[in-house]
């Protein structure tokens, strides 16, 4: 996926991971990674997330550590984990009717998931392999992480690196983007807005369902009740059976859906941010949906100044305002 000018964010008009849906590349990449690391690929569910599940299953949810979490956020998250786990512990061995699905929630730091020993795995090669038909793998940290990902039902993380793991989830899993706050340095100001960043990873993975922390609430900090609500919503969706594959557009947050519609209706803007040609200022390609939706820096009416040069990226501003209202995204002016 590269970085910076090497196409870290080669934005597509549909805000999808390129090839993830139409070429089934996300699934093929996932399955190949499991196979190449000597693991059976995740459970196949073809039409519904409920395939192979029962209403009394204990679903496994993991909240992934994120550098954007504040101390207050972590306390709210911990309280949510404890309340959901206490409910599960109370009902797991009972036959009483359940108000909520049973979920076990854990807090996870990927860099602490390490191989416990140097045991080896015998695995068969693939038609694309340059190695011998049968070769030996030694347990490593990534294999250990894949084993954990394979059993996850609900993956919960904020923006950034943690988003890159969702492609490895099993069919019929749920990815909860708990969001962050932008702009940096203004997190506690009235100018702050919700940021999900890598929505393209979720919309480009059609065998999972994406949920998002409420877009008009995240800038107020993470709250226990919202976290619990999202986890319970995810667990109900899984057991009731959401349809597979998921419509990619439904796997975007409100601002992501706004961008896709903006791209459909303002073709010049869409070309500006999705087609890399020499005359286009890189600031217009250095694109995050939330910055555009909230008219930050290069998207401000007056643009911004860098090394004495004004940088501004044109678009249909009245259309953006109309779509912000349609998708019920609250906005406050940010001037930088």
Q: Are residues 21 and 77 in the same domain?
A: yes
- Domain end, chosen from 213, 233, 249, is at 249
Question: What is the residue range of 112's domain?
Answer: 9-249
pLDDT digits (tens, 9 = 90+) for 193-205: 999 999 999 999 9
The pLDDT of residue 118 is: 60
- Tell me: pLDDT of 139 over 90: no
The predicted structure's pLDDT at residue 126: 57
Residue 120, helix vs strand vs coil? strand
Same domain? For 165 and 279 the reply is no
pTM of the model: 0.92
- 237 three-state secondary structure: helix
Higher pLDDT, 112 or 131: 112
Residue 217: both structure tokens together: 């609430």
- 64 within domain boundaries: yes
Residues 156 and 294 in one domain: no
- Is 96 inside any structural domain? yes
Question: Quick one: pLDDT at residue 47?
Answer: 97
Note whether 189 and 290 are same-domain residues.
Answer: no
Residues 72, 171: one domain?
A: yes
| Same domain? 69 vs 142 | yes
Q: How confident is the model at residue 187 (pLDDT cuts 50, 70, 90)?
A: confident
Whether 87 and 220 map to the same domain: the answer is yes
Is the pLDDT at 1 greater than 50? The verdict is no
- Residue 112 CB coordination number (10 Å): 8
Are 147 and 117 in contact by the 8 Å Cβ rule? The answer is: no
- 79 belongs to a structural domain: yes
Q: Number of folded domains in the chain? A: 2
Q: What percent of the chain has pLDDT over 90?
A: 74
Confidence of residue 184 (pLDDT cuts 50, 70, 90): confident
Does 134 fall in a domain? yes
Is residue 36 assigned to a domain?
yes
Note whether residue 304 is domain-resident: yes
How confident is the model over 238-259, as a mean pLDDT? Answer: 98
Cα distance between residue 122 and residue 38, in whole Å: 7
- HSE at residue 70, side-chain half, CA atoms within 13 A, is 13
Residue 1 resides in a domain: no
pLDDT tens-place string over residues 282-317: 899 989 999 999 999 999 999 888 888 898 999 999
261 and 242 in a common domain: no
């Amino acid at each position: 996926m590269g970085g910076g000018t090497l196409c870290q964010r080669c934005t597509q008009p549909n805000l999808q991971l390129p090839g993830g849906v139409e070429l089934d590349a996300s699934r093929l990449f996932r399955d190949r990674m499991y196979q190449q690391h000597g693991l059976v690929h995740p459970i196949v569910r073809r039409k519904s997330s409920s395939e192979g599940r029962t209403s009394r299953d204990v679903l496994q949810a993991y909240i992934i550590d994120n550098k954007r979490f504040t101390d207050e956020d972590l306390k709210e998250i911990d309280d949510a984990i404890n309340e959901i786990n206490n409910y599960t512990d109370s009902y797991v061995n009972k036959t009483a009717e359940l108000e909520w699905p049973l979920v076990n929630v854990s807090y996870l730091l990927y860099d602490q998931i390490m191989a416990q020993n140097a045991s080896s795995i015998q695995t068969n090669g693939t038609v694309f392999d340059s190695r011998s038909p049968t070769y030996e793998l030694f347990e490593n940290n990534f294999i250990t992480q894949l084993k954990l990902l394979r059993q996850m039902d609900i993956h919960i993380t904020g923006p950034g690196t943690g988003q890159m793991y969702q492609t490895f989830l099993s069919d019929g899993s749920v990815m909860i983007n708990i969001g962050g706050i932008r702009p940096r340095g203004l997190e506690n100001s009235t100018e702050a807005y919700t940021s999900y960043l890598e929505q393209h990873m979720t919309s480009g993975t059609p065998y999972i369902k994406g949920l998002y922390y409420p877009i008009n609430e995240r800038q107020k900090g993470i709250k226990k009740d919202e976290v619990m609500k999202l986890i319970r919503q995810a667990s109900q969706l899984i057991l009731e059976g959401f349809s597979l594959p998921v419509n990619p557009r439904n796997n975007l947050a409100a601002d992501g859906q706004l961008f896709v519609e903006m791209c459909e209706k303002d073709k010049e803007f869409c070309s500006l941010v999705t087609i890399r040609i020499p005359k286009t200022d890189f600031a217009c390609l250095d694109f995050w949906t939330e910055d555009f939706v909230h008219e930050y820096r290069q998207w401000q009416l007056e643009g911004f100044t860098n090394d004495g040069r004004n940088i501004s990226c044109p678009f249909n501003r009245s259309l953006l305002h109309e779509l912000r209202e349609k998708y019920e995204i609250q906005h406050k002016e940010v001037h930088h």
